[in-house]
Structure 1
Amino acid sequence: MNPGFRFFLLLVLLAAGPIPGCKGCMEPPPTPHKAAMERITVEEDLIRKMALPPRKGVLPTPAGEDSTVELVVALPTLPDHLNPFLEIDEWGFHIAMHHIYEGLLDRDPKTGRLVGALAESWSSDEKGSAYRFRLRTGVRWQDGRPFTVEDVVFTFNMLTMPKIDRGPFIYDIDHAITRVDKFGPDEVRVVLNSPNIYFLDHLVELPILPAHVFFKGVSPKSRGSLSPVGTGPYRLLQWEGSDQLVLEKNEYYWGPTPDVGRVVFRRFPDAARSFVGIRRKQVHVLPRVTPAHYPDQITDTVSRDYELVRFVPPQFTYLLWNVANPMLADFRIRRALSMLIDRDRVIEKVFRGLATPCTGPFWQPGGLGDVKLENWPYDPPAARDLLTQVDWVDHDGDGIRDKGGTPLRLVVLVPVAARQGTEMLQIMKSDFQKAGVDLVIVPTDWKLMGAHLRKRQFSAALLSWSGRPYEDFSPLFHSTGRYNYGVVYNTMIDQLLVSMRRTTRLEARFDFSVKLEDMLHAYLPMTFLVRPVWIGLVHRDFTNAIPTPHGFRYSQFKHVPRQPKDADTKRPSPLPPNPEPPK
């Protein structure tokens, strides 16, 4: 074709304008961002059309109104992830477990009895070595998918996977399971390698994971750990880094609808700032008051608007003796040293009354342990006489007792971050020095301290134990226990621990626990010091605030706004300086 003719034809087409039926031919193609936004809009429309109808009895909120009850909780830190199956800090477990995730079983905060959660019912054989669970039907994950027996089997199988940094409450379960069997669409059986009465209690802290979310693996960086999908009463709504984390009630939840529709966890790194929020009524719950702010910050105004909730958790602090050390091999030495510890002074000076003396490892509100057992009394004269009886005398006049040229000098390890522990040892050091015992306090990094404990390179160590209401103390006291750093080798103690784990009768377990505490009291591989007392503040517009070993259950809070006259006249009952454990 002639080039001149082609140029003439192009001018004619341009003058004629766009061709009819070719609308948009002259427009540039959409950018990748615009195309992606259009696809998201289409998918959101499809999700709205697929949304389930509201549950029966739940009235829709009128347009333009927000009747959601919001609860603001002040926490010192926020977690890095929200997967309680993995190693997680205390407050992360407090947020995720029983709020987002659930286990097969739960424990009623009021009665302490085991109740069904994702398992509707359960049974066991006569020996307690096999358990069968019937799963609750109609349960959905928070993304709308149904909860199935495959999720339970997947969770138990993950216990055997290597290279997974599991949480502290899960470590006791993975070594006890032999196999997991499915029985139809809603039943599962778990077979143990030996009878273990504590297995059901361990399941309370074992979250059931969604297999469709974690099928590629479980880690703190997994999608399900950062954007959790559980079956609990709340789901994650917003997470603003380390400043704020918001939960909202789960519309798919199988249980009662919570009164509190939104829980806002707000970080207050400084405890004094949390009290500023309380005085301004910007905070509804302070789960734990630090001893440094008690009782000075509990003013009349705070007491009028907030209820003080106290709770003694299953935790204790103890002084571990290395009985393999020749200096501490005689039980009379350990008894004398125990009689130099003034617990009342420690509770007053270090904890400001937010602690109670500890006589043994068992949590007495759970019905175990010897309630009549008393600590060795604080009696320095009797302690000095006992040391003299075993030939620990100050021969050279330097103020320190010695025997065979060896001074009575004890090197005590304490975690470097344990400020209260160091303060406790400073008080003990003065009493020990008056009795001729040199106490050397060595704050140690926890990793290095663990190495010293495993190699038995210490005289004593100040440690803490945090467990369950019904705890198997075999790791701590059994001859083969992984935490038996004090070298407790006692066949009678071993037999009692095995008998407690295998018995199916609560009465027998109680008898065994009394015998075990009496033996520990006499043998003294460790000296039990104190149990902490938690004091929480809850705004009086919210009731049914029942404390548990892992904090409050906000799904059980009841919102009952007070009338102005009630807010002015209601006064709380005074808090005793040393509250007793709840019965």
Structure 2
Amino acid sequence: MKTSIKQLVLAFCGLAIVAGCGKSSGEKQSNIDVDFNTKVAGDQGILHELSDPDKLNPITSTGASSTLIENYMFEALLSQENFAPYNLIPALAESLPEISEDKLKYTFKIRKDAHFQDGHSVDAYDCLFTLKTIKNPFVDDAPLRNYFNAAKGAVVVDEHTIRYECTKIYFKNDSFLGYTVYPEHYYDPEGWAKKFTFEDIESYNQGLIDKIPQEKLEARPAVIAMKKLAEKINSKDTDRAPMGTGPYKFEAWDQGDKIVLVKDPNYWRQKETKYETWLDKIIFKIINDQEVALVNLKATKIDFMRGIKPIQYSKQLDTPKFKENFTKDDFFLPYYYYLGWNNEHPIFRDVKVRKAMTYLTDRNLIINNLMFGQGKICTGPIYFEMAEYNDKIVPHPFDPKKGEALLAEAGWADTDNDGILDKIVDGKKVDFTFTFLTNQGNDIRKNLAIILADSYKKSGILADVRTMEWAVFLDKVDTHQFDCTILGWVGPVSQPDPYQIWHSTQAKEQGSNHVSWKDKRTDELLELNREELDPEIRKKYMHEFQEILYENQPYTFLFWVKERVAVDKRFQNVNWYPVRPGFDAKEWWVPTPLQRYSNKLASN
């Protein structure tokens, strides 16, 4: 299977890591004749997820869990190969787009046999609708929309031909214009998108710049239509009723329990050998405690688990019984953990303080003791396997004396001898205290915070730890209501465009620049990178960009994470890929004698 364009927004493809699972099964096979060579349909896959997705709506969702599940239901005009050189390949499109000489027009021809899961054909009007929705300023898709800044609009040439028109060169225009296609008839039954144009969108945006009163702007009929469409797209009902062109259809979402996808018997590519799917159902089982999830895995109540805790992976998965039933594996993904310092916080807006915090953070200790060696120190957001990675940057060492000296230079001292540093900030005496904020259910992040809080205390810094349910946590991060957050980003491994996370325009609420990093030269480099077609010149821009982050430490970059997985051995054709989530259950199949849930819904 191939990587969808939605996946590329959050994780660009990289070096392929492929490892087939063993052919033995958890079932007793001594008297069973099993054909491991002929693919057959049937059975179900029950895959563990740590939390519910934020939504199932590719345009507005931001969580990795959402993207994973959406990828089974939605498809794009283009997808990308999972193997070097990671070429773009047609999906809903007949071929790669025809690109004008000035690189500002992209013409796609849509396959006439492509249809949505309700049988409606995919056409150019669906593509037009999708771009209007993405560009609509009232739709909650700020992280995605920034990738379409260069797109001025689109023209329907004929029923199966769409031409996208851009205002400027962007080296990834073809990737993002080849985005997931939404069915207009399903997501806009009232026809609101037909009542406004791309010019209306631009006029509204310009009106904001010109400071035209909001009530005047929103009284325009076109703007009313934009808001009505956005209400539909942003609604919880839409988030929980997805419909695309993919091989699996949405069946049910029981909050906190499971999401069920069922194979579409009328999938439009089912007769193409490369795109055949085999499992009758894919069930994402929600268990927000990794210990409980592992118990369920060992009891064969779930079939697959990822993000296994390092201590579990190293100490609990080597028993003879486990090895009989499951295969475990680990591999690097372009995914890193970081401490995100709120750069507008009175304490962390000082670069000396942020650098000091990095010197006070023992990353090797964390990797060795908490991660059991399952990680590699990270110096910045560019994956270490990429050509754009700046290998001349040496990680800041763990050096408490240097960190404490920087804090002293920044004016922090224990003036009242209570063991906690203090300073006059904005005219008031404040103690150096802050809160780590992270999500419930992720013991690695919680324990990491506890370890660091204990370590920082030795230098006169008092930190506490607060965890929240995933959706609530994301809202706090999106609205910048935190001191320091412990999170992870899926990083690019091919043709990086860090604009979404690091440009100052993305520091507004709901943007991905959660820490409010604002730097003129960073903005310049990110803009130059987007408009440059020469990869060697882009490499220079990315090297300088990494140096700026290294010197300013808006994050304390922690480590690249090794993915740790386990899968039931009855599944065949299981491959690991470098793009998060690192696997594709659309490829999996189970020999008939080993099928466990044939023709029935799992009770889990």
Correspondences of 1:234-273 after superposition (within 5 Å): 234-236=248-250, 242-243=257-258, 245-254=260-269, 255-256=272-273, 257-258=275-276, 260-267=278-285, 269=287, 271-272=290-291
Counterpart contact for 1:260–1:555, Cα < 8 Å: yes
Partner residue of 1:546?
576
Partner residue of 2:504?
479
> Which of 392, 411, 433 is residue 434 of structure 2 equivalent to?
411
Partner residue of 2:396?
376
Shift of 1:318: 2.5
> CA deviation digits over 1:448-474, x for unaligned, max 9?
8458737xxx76554543465555333
Secondary structure in structure 1 of the residue aligned to 2:249? strand
Q: What is the rounded CA distance, in whole Å, between the counterparts of 2:485 and 2:57 in structure 1?
A: 32
Partner residue of 1:347?
367
Shift of 1:375: 1.7
Shift of 1:338: 1.2
Identity percentage over the alignment? 21
Secondary structure in structure 2 of the residue aligned to 1:492? helix
Relative distance call for 1:298 and 1:113 in structure 2 (3 A) is: farther
Residue 208 in 1 paired to residue 238 in 2?
no
Secondary structure in structure 1 of the residue aligned to 2:61? coil
Q: What is the rounded CA distance, in whole Å, between the counterparts of 1:371 and 1:431 in structure 2?
A: 29
> CA deviation digits over 1:263-311, x for unaligned, max 9?
3315252545544554455544334424463333313332344333434
Shift of 1:339: 0.9
Secondary structure in structure 2 of the residue aligned to 1:537? strand
Secondary structure in structure 1 of the residue aligned to 2:96? strand
Relative distance call for 1:210 and 1:126 in structure 2 (3 A) is: same
Partner residue of 2:549?
520
Bigger radius of gyration, 1 or 2? 1
Counterpart contact for 1:307–1:539, Cα < 8 Å: yes
Q: CA-atom RMSD, angstroms?
A: 3.9
Greater Cα shift, 112-121 or 253-262: 253-262
> CA deviation digits over 1:198-252, x for unaligned, max 9?
3444457x42122333331654779986665432233356777844614225434
Counterpart contact for 2:153–2:165, Cα < 8 Å: yes
Relative distance call for 1:232 and 1:449 in structure 2 (3 A) is: closer
Q: Which amino acid aligns with 2:520?
A: T
Q: What runs of 5+ residues in structure 1 fail to find an aligned partner?
A: 1-65, 564-583
> CA deviation digits over 1:31-74, x for unaligned, max 9?
xxxxxxxxxxxxxxxxxxxxxxxxxxxxxxxxxxx962324122
Residue 134 in 1 paired to residue 90 in 2?
no
Relative distance call for 1:324 and 1:360 in structure 2 (3 A) is: same
Counterpart contact for 2:243–2:249, Cα < 8 Å: yes
Shift of 1:134: 2.6
> Which of 560, 563, 566 is residue 534 of structure 1 equivalent to?
563
> CA deviation digits over 1:343-374, x for unaligned, max 9?
12223454454443221012334543223433
Q: What is the rounded CA distance, in whole Å, between the counterparts of 1:397 and 1:237 in structure 2?
A: 62
Shift of 1:342: 0.8
Secondary structure in structure 2 of the residue aligned to 1:72? strand
Residue 187 in 1 paired to residue 202 in 2?
no
Residue 85 in 1 paired to residue 99 in 2?
no
Counterpart contact for 2:437–2:484, Cα < 8 Å: no
Counterpart contact for 1:228–1:236, Cα < 8 Å: yes
Q: Which amino acid aligns with 1:320?
A: G
Relative distance call for 1:529 and 1:67 in structure 2 (3 A) is: closer
Q: What is the rounded CA distance, in whole Å, between the counterparts of 1:422 and 1:252 in structure 2?
A: 42
Secondary structure in structure 1 of the residue aligned to 2:308? coil
Partner residue of 1:295?
314
Shift of 1:103: 0.8
Counterpart contact for 1:238–1:246, Cα < 8 Å: yes
Partner residue of 2:244?
230
Partner residue of 2:449?
425
Relative distance call for 1:408 and 1:552 in structure 2 (3 A) is: same
Residue 147 in 1 paired to residue 161 in 2?
no
Q: Using structure 1 for the length normalisation, give the TM-score.
A: 0.72
Relative distance call for 1:505 and 1:322 in structure 2 (3 A) is: same
How many pairs does the alignment contain?
492
Counterpart contact for 2:341–2:555, Cα < 8 Å: yes
Counterpart contact for 2:135–2:145, Cα < 8 Å: no
> Which of 122, 126, 144 is residue 170 of structure 1 equivalent to?
144
Partner residue of 2:46?
73
Shift of 1:107: 2.0
Counterpart contact for 1:109–1:546, Cα < 8 Å: no
Partner residue of 1:436?
460
Q: Which amino acid aligns with 1:251?
A: N
Greater Cα shift, 180-189 or 305-314: 305-314
> CA deviation digits over 1:163-192, x for unaligned, max 9?
5444x7633345443111122343222223
> Which of 285, 301, 309 is residue 304 of structure 2 equivalent to?
285
Greater Cα shift, 502-511 or 277-286: 277-286
Q: What is the rounded CA distance, in whole Å, between the counterparts of 1:516 and 1:265 in structure 2?
A: 41
Secondary structure in structure 2 of the residue aligned to 1:121? coil
Partner residue of 2:532?
503
Counterpart contact for 1:235–1:250, Cα < 8 Å: no
Q: Which amino acid aligns with 1:363?
A: Y
Q: Which amino acid aligns with 2:314?
A: P
Shift of 1:121: 1.2
Q: What is the rounded CA distance, in whole Å, between the counterparts of 1:211 and 1:448 in structure 2?
A: 29
Q: Which amino acid aligns with 2:247?
A: P
Q: What is the rounded CA distance, in whole Å, between the counterparts of 2:91 and 2:374 in structure 1?
A: 33
Shift of 1:497: 0.8
> CA deviation digits over 1:420-457, x for unaligned, max 9?
44432332223222223444556686488458737xxx
> CA deviation digits over 1:513-542, x for unaligned, max 9?
122111211222332123333222233441
Correspondences of 1:154-165 after superposition (within 5 Å): 154-161=129-136, 163-165=138-140
Counterpart contact for 2:342–2:514, Cα < 8 Å: yes
Shift of 1:89: 5.3
Q: What is the rounded CA distance, in whole Å, between the counterparts of 1:240 and 1:338 in structure 2?
A: 42
Q: What is the rounded CA distance, in whole Å, between the counterparts of 2:253 and 2:414 in structure 1?
A: 62
Partner residue of 2:79?
106
Q: Which amino acid aligns with 2:317?
A: I
Greater Cα shift, 295-304 or 74-83: 74-83
Counterpart contact for 1:75–1:267, Cα < 8 Å: yes
Secondary structure in structure 2 of the residue aligned to 1:115? strand
Q: What is the rounded CA distance, in whole Å, between the counterparts of 1:364 and 1:176 in structure 2?
A: 29
Residue 121 in 1 paired to residue 96 in 2?
yes
Q: What is the rounded CA distance, in whole Å, between the counterparts of 2:240 and 2:466 in structure 1?
A: 38
Q: Which amino acid aligns with 2:404?
A: R
Shift of 1:105: 1.5
Relative distance call for 1:436 and 1:144 in structure 2 (3 A) is: closer
Q: What is the rounded CA distance, in whole Å, between the counterparts of 2:108 and 2:591 in structure 1?
A: 37
Q: What is the rounded CA distance, in whole Å, between the counterparts of 1:447 and 1:244 in structure 2?
A: 20
Q: What is the rounded CA distance, in whole Å, between the counterparts of 2:506 and 2:99 in structure 1?
A: 27
Q: What is the rounded CA distance, in whole Å, between the counterparts of 2:88 and 2:180 in structure 1?
A: 16
Relative distance call for 1:88 and 1:486 in structure 2 (3 A) is: closer
- Kindly indicate whether structure 1 or structure 2 has the higher relative contact order, using CA contacts under 8 Å at least 6 residues apart: 2
Counterpart contact for 1:75–1:286, Cα < 8 Å: yes
